[in-house]
Amino acid sequence: MTADKPLRADAQRKRDALLATAREVFDAGGFFDLRFDDFARLAGVGTGTLYRHFPTREALAEAVYHGEIAALCDRVRQLRDELPASEALATFLRGMVEHIAAHEGLARTLSTLMTTRAAALAEGSRALEQAVTDLVAAAVRDGTVRDDVGAGAVMMALHGISAGHDRPGWRAEADDVITLLLDGLRRPL
């Protein structure tokens, strides 16, 4: 399969079924508990189809990750189009806490993969950081966010929130960190 050649409709459905199954398994926290061939059975496809689309467990995990990143970047664009810049930023950051909470199994799997596949996942991190940079820049341009704090600091806060997801009371603390971040980004009067 090449990235340039579009998939036939049935092949795309099977690929999508494998990705949906992997997302479900991630969210349940059992990605490493299953034999790789079990993903095919759970998705209702043959093992040949699994290996044709995703030759390794890591390739499947990377595809799920890149799909999640694409969805988050699309969400940023949608918010930028629909809301004032500072509101779009706040909505996105609060939504990221929801996303992290809903996908903590994915976060655990990715942290395991990062030790060996960091370069393969870096492209997605750069895409998300660029989307956040665009959000912050729009809020700076409209004068609601200070111009001396960059998107890198926002991303670092999100990484910290994600890394602490096993803490008791994580959700309330994560919401508090977002509130602190938004207060700190607000341009002083």
What does the domain layout of the chain look like in residue ranges? 1-55, 64-185
- Residues 6 or more apart whose CB falls under 8 angstroms from that of 188 comprise 146
Q: Which CB contacts under 8 angstroms, 24+ apart, belong to 149-156?
A: 149/184, 149/185, 154/93, 154/181, 154/185, 155/128, 155/129
- Architecture, CATH, for domain 64-185: Orthogonal Bundle (1.10)
Considering the entire predicted model, what is its pTM?
A: 0.82
At position 8, the amino acid (one-letter code) is: R
- Give the chain's radius of gyration (CA, Å): 18
Per the CB < 8 A criterion, the answer to whether 80 and 88 are in contact is yes
Establish how many alpha carbons lie within 13 A of residue 36's alpha carbon, considering only the half-sphere containing its beta carbon: 14
In 3D space, the residue among 185, 20, 43, 91 whose CA is nearest the CA of residue 99 turns out to be 91
pLDDT of 1 reads 44
CATH annotation of 1-55: 1.10.10.60
How far apart CA 68 and CA 49 sit, in angstroms, is 22
The per-residue pLDDT for range 37-54, each reduced to its tens digit, is 998 999 999 999 999 999
Report the SS3 class of residue 174. helix
pLDDT by 10s per residue, the chain, length 189: 445 577 788 888 999 999 999 888 887 777 778 888 998 999 999 999 999 999 988 888 888 888 988 999 999 999 999 999 999 999 999 999 998 888 877 766 666 666 666 666 777 788 889 999 999 999 999 999 999 988 999 999 998 898 888 889 999 999 999 999 999 999 887
The per-residue pLDDT for range 84-121, each reduced to its tens digit, is 999 999 999 999 999 888 887 776 666 666 666 666 67
Q: What would the two tokens of residue 64 be?
A: 């799920």
